[in-house]
Amino acid sequence: MPAASHEPLALDPENPDILYGSTSSLWDARHPIEWGIKRIAALGLQGIEPYAKQIEDHRANPLALKKKFDESGVTLIDVSNGAKGQSTNFIDPEETPKTIADHVAFARDFLQPFGCDLWKCNMGARPPGGTTDDQLKRVADTLNEIGRQTIEVGIRLAPHPHIWGPVEREHEVRAMLDLTDPDYVWLTPDTGHLVLGGMDAVQIMSDYLPRIAEVHLKDTYAKYRGNKATPAREQHAEASVYHNMGGGGVDFPAVMKLLRDRHYKGWVVFDMDGPRKGDDGFDAIGGNIDLAIDDYLAHNVNYLRVILGVRLQPLD
């Protein structure tokens, strides 16, 4: 069972061991972590996975921040890697010793005091031309060494396949998991990134369910299902390839059926980018970004409640 600073009420009607939260992606550039704690508590969600810059001012004193979480009844799930000064190069043998040392130190010095038992990590930039077999092996070796050391302080390393990263297509996801030790390395699948990488999200999650430490809920558009090539960054810059839940790319009822039927124990968090001009729904509310952030949060909470049956209070 994931570590928590309080006893959360069961929100899932079929599997009480599923906990629900959000990353800070929606508000990260606009509001501090204190705003996020209060907003997530008000929405009835149980935890937050902040981006690293959200906690930068608190790195020297994690217990003071933990007190704020505890007082609001919200759990800090973990913190996405990429903190200031932290190397995220998992491939270059000249850089990976620093990557390993930086990650182990952050897990020990910041995550452990919170009682975190998992750590979702991105794996840096995708090599030009794609990731070779040798590069995948180096990624796996780096993950194995970080995970070997973080599990000693009770933290499961859970890499996050991400489009435009070294692990974005199905053969790369499967190779990463085949090349890593299940005692040291887990997985954070993101439903949107799996679909954008050409995968069947439910199949991948089913095949590797025992290794899943956390699940990210993100949607995309139906046109990206089964794609043979990942959408380019330039496409995303022009118009987001991500979507709030209900965009048509991900079969969320099937995802939740899998997690419920096989009694997954852990966090399920929605991970949506902040609103921007041209996004569905943003222009319709006048382009006010703070209103849009709240609208996006409410939309996804209501999707969990109405479509997926999670026990959350109705929101306007």
> Which residue is listed with tokens 């302080």?
153
Query: How confident is residue 292, by pLDDT bands cut at 50, 70 and 90?
Result: confident
pLDDT beyond 60 at 3 = no
Give yes or no for residue 287 having a pLDDT over 70: no
Please give the C-alpha separations between residue 68 and each of 37, 61, 220, 301, in angstroms, as whole numbers. Answer: 8, 12, 34, 23
Sorted by where each begins, the domain ranges of the chain are 18-306
- What CATH homologous superfamily does 18-306 map to? Divalent-metal-dependent TIM barrel enzymes (3.20.20.150)
| 151 token code pair | 């599990």
Encoded tokens for 288: 């006010």
* Over residues 272-300, mean pLDDT: 81
CA dist., res. 316 & res. 47, Å (int): 21
Alpha-carbon distance 169 to 228, whole Å? 9
- Whether residue 296 is predicted with pLDDT greater than 70 in this model: the reply is yes
Instruction: Name the one residue in this structure whose structure tokens are 């430490």.
Output: 213
Is the model's pLDDT at 5 over the cut of 50?
no
Q: With a cut of 80, say whether residue 161 has pLDDT above it.
A: yes
Of 76, 49, 48, nearest to 62 (Cα)?
A: 76
Tell me the two tokens of residue 271: 């991970």
Count the alpha carbons within 13 Å of 86 in the hemisphere toward its beta carbon. 22
Average pLDDT over residues 181-196: 98
pLDDT tens-digit profile of 118-157? Answer: 999 999 999 999 999 999 999 999 999 999 999 999 999 9
- Tell me the pTM: 0.94
3-state secondary structure of 306: helix
DSSP 58-100: GTT-HHHHHHHHHHHT-EE----S--TT----SS-TTTHHHHH
- CA dist list (Å): 290 to 29, 272, 286, 297: 11, 15, 11, 11
What is the rounded end-to-end Cα distance, in angstroms, of the chain?
32
Q: How confident is the model at residue 275 (pLDDT cuts 50, 70, 90)?
A: confident
Per-residue pLDDT at 286: 66
Q: How far is CA 173 from CA 52, 133, 140, 168, in A?
A: 24, 12, 11, 7
Q: What are phi and psi of 219, to 5 degrees?
A: -115, 170
Distance from chain centroid for Cα 230:
19
Please, are residues 209 and 264 in contact by the beta-carbon 8 Å criterion? yes
Segment 201-217, tens digit of pLDDT: 999 999 999 999 999 99
Instruction: Say what the pLDDT of residue 285 is.
Output: 64
For residue 289, how many other CB atoms are within 10 A of its CB?
16
